[in-house]
Amino acid sequence: MNDTDLKYLWQTGNDQIAFSQKLEKTSLDKLTKKNVSHFLSSMKPIKLFTLLVGLLWVFGIGYVLIKLTINAYDQVSHYFLYSAYFQVALTAMAVILYIIQISTLYNIDFNKPVVILQKTLLKLKASTLNVTRILILQLPFWTTFYWNESMFKNGTLPLFVLQGAVTISFTYLAIWLFFHLKFENADKWWFKLLLQGKEWEPLITSIDILNDMEEEVVSTKD
Amino acid sequence: MANHNLHQTFHEIIEQHKGLLFKVVRTYCENEEDRQDLIQEIRIQIWKSLPKYNANFAMTTWLYRISINVSISYYRKNSIRHQYAKAETLPTVTDAFPNDLQEKFNLLEKFIAELNEMDKALIMLYLEDKSYIEISEIMGISISNVGTKMGRIKEKLKKRFLNHKEN
């Protein structure tokens, strides 16, 4: 079958279909309402919930930490204070990424060329990975906030060994995951464990499509 | 543009180009319910994008961009690809269509359905007799890349027809 045959087949077939197709007459008002509900329903509830919790956490704990720093810096454990600061700072970074994601979602421009827009949409979904990577960096700070000076003065060797092992392994795990949580490792069990559920399917689809699009995007840059 | 004029323009565009919308939707959706949903999604985006329409682009280029962008996003969201993969046959065209052509057309649709999202759009535009320049503008890829991709897709389709014939 040559090119002309293919085109003829396509045109003739579609001409026949055109006669039998009906366009549902829906008013613009109804369409717009439908669109809003569709958009809101497609927003993952977990993402909005996480954003809300994240904002409360950052502002609530952040406020307490600043108050403690100003009013009781010498009375609180510095291990606690700095661990909490790092933890809140990393959460704040994740919250900012969430806000950017949601804002981008509301401003998607369907006028753009297909490859460009689709790449933006895929990047949006893929940024879920970056949020996870940032949040994982919090791991070591959950093992240091309860440290205090008395622990170091009065602690026993087994305590130091245990504490050291926990902190070093959490630090190693956090750094390792930060660098390995990439699309290339999407088929690994630990990746699936971290990103299973509703966030998982779009990511897997994104990987397929990114692979399909790779050469187009490279070519666009030329 | 006044709101009344915008409404009128919108309805005229939809009426005048509904064939284009149906073709895009048919390429990405198997069942009628999904198609109607997708058509509505596309209409919403056309309505929203209308004030930003740039008259430097041909109306069809603009419409293809929107309808393909929406279709790919919709298709991805609803995992229609998986439904397609399972589908043995696709809905057929009307009885008035000669039998041999009908069978070939259904095969063509089936083989296109097996392509990835980007390739579907490319071959559809090609079969719609769009030039490589137009395809390049719609898709946002270089003309040479359109040529390369198109060669591969056509080869793939021809092989599928040949294999089907042999079997």
Predicted complex ipTM: 0.79
| Pairwise CA distance, residues A87 & A139, whole Å | 9
Mean pLDDT over residues A139-158, rounded?
87
Q: Do B71 and B128 belong together in one domain?
A: no
Could you please report the per-residue DSSP string of A91-151? HHHHHHHHHHHHHHHHT--TTS-HHHHHHHHHHHHHHHHHHHHHHHTTGGGGGTTT--HHH
Residues B59 and B96 in one domain: no
Same domain, residue pair B53 and B125 = no
Greater confidence, A214 or A18? A18
With an 8 Å Cβ cutoff, is B34 touching chain A?
Answer: no
Residues B22, A14: C-beta atoms closer than 8 Å: yes
In sequence order, which residues have a C-beta less than 8 Å from that of residue B154 and are 6 or more positions away?
A3, A6, B123, B126
- Most confidently modeled range among A13-17, A176-180, A196-200, B36-40: A176-180
Domain boundary among B87, B116, B140: B87
Cα(B134)–Cα(B139) distance, integer angstroms: 9
Take residue A156 and report the two structure tokens written for it: 């026993």
Q: Which of residues 187-216 of A touch B (CB under 8 A)?
A: 201-202, 205, 208-209, 212-213, 215-216
Same domain flag for B83 and B5? yes
Residues B80 and B131 in one domain: no
Q: Which domain holds residue B56?
A: 1-87
Task: Tell which A residues from 33 to 52 touch B, by Cβ distance under 8 Å.
Answer: 34-35, 38, 42
Residues B25, B3 within the same domain: yes
Contact B101/A18, CB-based, under 8 Å?
no
d(CA A141, CA A68): 18
Identify which has the larger pLDDT, B153 or A48.
Answer: B153
What is the number of other CB atoms lying within 10 angstroms of the CB of residue A32?
13
Whether residue A222 is predicted with pLDDT greater than 50 in this model: the reply is no
The answer to whether residues B95 and B72 belong to one domain is no
Q: Which of A13, A112, A212 sits opposite B105 (nearest CB)?
A: A13
pLDDT given for residue B147 in this prediction? 93
Query: What is the average per-residue pLDDT within A58-74?
Result: 95
Phi and psi at residue A201, in whole multiples of 5°? -60, -50
> Given A20, A38, A216, which is nearest B145 (Cβ)?
A216
Instruction: Please tell me the predicted confidence (pLDDT) of residue B77.
Output: 67
> Which of A69, A145, A142, A61 has the alpha carbon at shortest distance from A95?
A61
B9 shares contact with chain A (CB less than 8 Å):
no
Measured CA to CA, the distance from residue B163 to residue B166 in angstroms comes to 5
In terms of domains, do B102 and B131 share one? yes
**Final residue before a domain boundary, out of B58, B87, B116:** B87
B116 lies in the same domain as B142: yes
Number of domains in chain B: 2
Domain end among B87, B106, B140? B87
Question: Chain A within 8 Å of B16 (Cβ-Cβ)?
Answer: no
- Reading the block at residue A147, the tokens are 């440290």
CA angle B65, A215, B46 (to 5 degrees): 10
Torsion of CA B152, B155, B159, B160, to 10 degrees: 60
Query: CATH code at B7?
Result: 1.10.1740.10
Q: Are residues B131 and B147 both part of a single domain?
A: yes
Q: Indicate which CATH number applies to the domain containing B161.
A: 1.10.10.10
Residues B71, B101, single domain; the answer is no
Say yes or no: B31 and B45 in one domain: yes
> What is the pTM for the complete model shown?
0.69
